[in-house]
């Protein structure tokens, strides 16, 4: 019998596999459709509710031809029917003939409904290097 | 009788007032000390647990002489004993004789224990302008 932590980690893994396929139908399967779902991509303003969240992903998918994501999980927590994963994403993307790499720190919040964990909140943010971090005593833009 | 949403918003307000005082003792009062608390400042790697979280705040406080924060709440959600606020912080800081301003998008997660909401997770990230957002079809660093 898988533990709560293990099943949340499986849901997190399913999210990133869906992300990599660049197919909104796969994203549709991992996201909750509750009216309080939200998604914050690095540097973007929040998307509230599935219509906005879905629009954000299709914008990304329509401008990306290939994507690989390596995920380093830092910690997973479950409190009742809410669980969250803090992880670092290493993204390698092709947009046309342009290859880009990026590091993103993510908080992914899941809610268990009828025994299934679904994503209700994604907050991704850019990661600065250690020297940049030292320079930013107060985290400013 | 205040609703759950209202009491979570009060806890969120108390967090920012503590932040503005630049006094770690006030931060101590608003944070949970559960072993799963985490704090991600914009561009920083996550701080896990109170010792690391506290160290992050003291680093910021020791390098800031004055701070004003204007908070724009976008949405507040409560699911059982977990509540979270998505908000935009407008920070105006003095570090020595240098004045800086910054916009930060935050996810603040609270847990209610013995009737009191305490902060268990803070994730702050820089906000890019709308033109920058358009350029970043895939959110890369």
Look up residue A9 and give its two tokens.
Answer: 């980690």
**Residues B109 and B86 sit within 8 Å (Cβ to Cβ):** no
Residue B130 has pLDDT above 60, yes or no: no
Among B36, B100, B140, the residue with its CB nearest the CB of A75 is B36
A5: pLDDT confidence band, cut at 50, 70 and 90?
very high
Interface of B with A in 2-31 (CB under 8 A): none
**Residues A107 and B123 sit within 8 Å (Cβ to Cβ):** yes
pLDDT confidence of residue A127: 86
- What percent of chain A lies above the pLDDT cut of 90? 79
Closest residue of A to B36, CA-based? A77
Q: Which residues of A touch B46 (CB under 8 A)?
A: 74-75, 86, 105
pLDDT confidence of residue A139: 54
Question: In this predicted model, which residue has the larger pLDDT, A130 or B106?
Answer: B106
Domains of chain B: 4-135 (3.10.450.50)
Measured between alpha carbons, how far is residue B101 from residues A56, A134, B68, B90, B95 in Å? 28, 18, 10, 7, 11
pLDDT confidence of residue B111: 98
Q: What is the mean pLDDT of residues A42-61?
A: 94
The number of angstroms, rounded, from the C-alpha of B114 to the middle of its chain's C-alpha atoms is 22
A99: how many CB neighbours lie within 10 A of its CB?
A: 10
Residue A11 has pLDDT above 90, yes or no: yes
Cβ burial B85-113 (10 Å sphere, 16+ → b, else e)? bbbbbebebebeeeeeebbbbbbbbbbbe
Average pLDDT taken over every residue of chain A: 91
Among B48, B77, B104, the residue with its CB nearest the CB of A139 is B104
CB contacts < 8 A (A, B): 170
Distance CA A40, CA A122 (A): 6
Q: In this predicted model, what pLDDT tens digit does every residue of B1-58 receive, in sequence order?
A: 889 999 999 999 999 999 999 999 999 999 999 999 999 999 888 999 999 999 999 9
Q: In this predicted model, what pLDDT tens digit does every residue of B58-116 receive, in sequence order?
A: 999 999 999 999 999 999 999 999 999 999 999 999 877 889 899 999 999 999 999 99
pTM of the prediction? 0.91
B135: how many CB neighbours lie within 10 A of its CB?
A: 9
The Cα of A109 is separated from the nearest Cα of chain B by a number of Å equal to 10
pLDDT confidence of residue A94: 84
Residue A133 has pLDDT above 60, yes or no: no
Query: ipTM above 0.95?
Result: no
Tokens 């850019």, residue? A126
pLDDT confidence of residue B103: 93
Q: What is the mean pLDDT of residues A3-26?
A: 97
Q: With an 8 Å Cβ cutoff, is A109 touching chain B?
A: yes
Q: In this predicted model, what pLDDT tens digit does every residue of A92-117 receive, in sequence order?
A: 998 778 898 999 999 999 999 999 99
By 3-state DSSP, what share of chain A in percent is helix, strand and coil, each rounded to 5? 30, 45, 25
Residue A131 has pLDDT above 60, yes or no: no
pLDDT confidence of residue A141: 36
């Amino acid at each position: 019998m898988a533990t709560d932590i293990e099943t949340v980690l499986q849901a997190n893994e399913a999210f990133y596999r869906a992300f990599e396929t660049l197919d909104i139908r796969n994203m549709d399967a991992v996201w909750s459709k509750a009216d309080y779902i939200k998604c914050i991509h690095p540097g973007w303003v929040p998307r509230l509710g599935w219509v906005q969240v879905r629009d954000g992903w299709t914008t990304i998918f329509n401008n990306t031809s290939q994507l690989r994501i390596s995920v380093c999980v830092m910690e997973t927590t479950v409190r009742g029917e809410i669980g969250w994963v803090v992880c670092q994403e290493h993204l390698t993307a092709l947009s046309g003939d342009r290859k880009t790499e990026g590091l993103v720190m993510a908080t992914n919040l899941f809610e268990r409904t009828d025994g299934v964990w679904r994503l209700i909140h994604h907050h991704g943010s850019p990661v600065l290097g250690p020297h940049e971090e030292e320079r930013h005593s107060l985290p400013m833009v």
